Chain A
Amino acid sequence: MKTYNNRAWFLILPVLICVAFSAILPLMTVVNYSVQDILSPTQSVFVGTEWFKTVLRDADLHGALARQLFFSLAVLAIQIPLGILIALCMPAGGWRASLALVLISLPLLIPWNVVGTIWQIFGRGDIGLMGYALNSLGMSYNYNGNSVDAWMTVLVMDIWHWTPLVVLLCYAGLRAIPDAYYQAARIDGASRLAVFRFIQLPKMRNVLMIAVLLRFMDSFMIYTEPFVLTGGGPGNATTFLSQYLTQKAVGQFDLGPASAFSLIYFLIILLFCFVLYTWMQRVGTGDQK
Chain B
Amino acid sequence: MARIDLIELGHAYRPNPTAPGDFALQPMTRTWDDGGAYALLGPSGCGKTTLLNIISGLVKPSHGRVLFDGRDVTQLPTEARNIAQVFQFPVIYDTMTVFDNLAFPLRNRGWKESQTRVRVHQVADMLELTSDLKHRASGLSVDAKQKISLGRGLVRPDVAAVLFDEPLTVIDPHLKWLLRRKLKEIHHELKLSLIYVTHDQVEALTFADQVVVMTQGEVVQTGSAQTLFEEPAHTFVGYFIGNPGMNLLPCSVQDGAAWVGGHALALSGAASAALAGAGGKVSLGVRPEFVECVADADAGGDLAAGGDTVPATVLSVRNMGTHFLAEFRLGEHRVAAKLRAIEAAAGSTVRLRFPQQRTLYYVDDQRVA
Q: What is the interface of chain A, defined by CB distance below 8 A to chain B? A: 178, 180-181, 183-184, 186-191, 194, 198-199, 202-203, 284-285, 287-289
Contacts and interface: CB of A to CB of B under 8 A. Distances in A.
A188 B152 contact: yes
B104 A178 contact: no
Contacts of B88: 180
A119 B265 CA distance: 93
A180 B145 CA distance: 14
A198 B105 contact: no
A232 to B, nearest CB: 44
Nearest to B110: A189
Interface in B105-162: 105, 108-109, 134-136, 138, 149, 152-153
A186 B78 contact: yes
B58 interface: yes
A184 B91 contact: yes
Nearest to B96: A198
7 contacts: A178-B89, A183-B58, A186-B58, A187-B105, A189-B105, A189-B109, A199-B93
B89 A180 contact: yes
B85 interface: yes
Contacts of A180: 87-89, 91
Nearest to A203: B94
A190 B108 contact: yes
Contacts of A199: 93
Contacts of B153: 187
Contact of B78 (A187, A203, A287): A187
Interface of B: 53, 56-58, 77-79, 83-85, 87-89, 91, 93-97, 104-105, 108-109, 134-136, 138, 149, 152-153
A86 B79 CA distance: 26
B187 to A, nearest CB: 19
A136 to B, nearest CB: 48
Interface centre among A188, A198, A203, A284 (most CB of B within 10 A): A188
Contacts of A202: 93-95
B79 A184 contact: no
A289 to B, nearest CB: 8
Given A184-B87, A288-B97, A189 B136 contact: no
B89 A187 contact: no
A186 B152 CA distance: 12
B89 to A, nearest CB: 6
Contacts of B95: 198, 202, 284-285
A180 B49 CA distance: 13
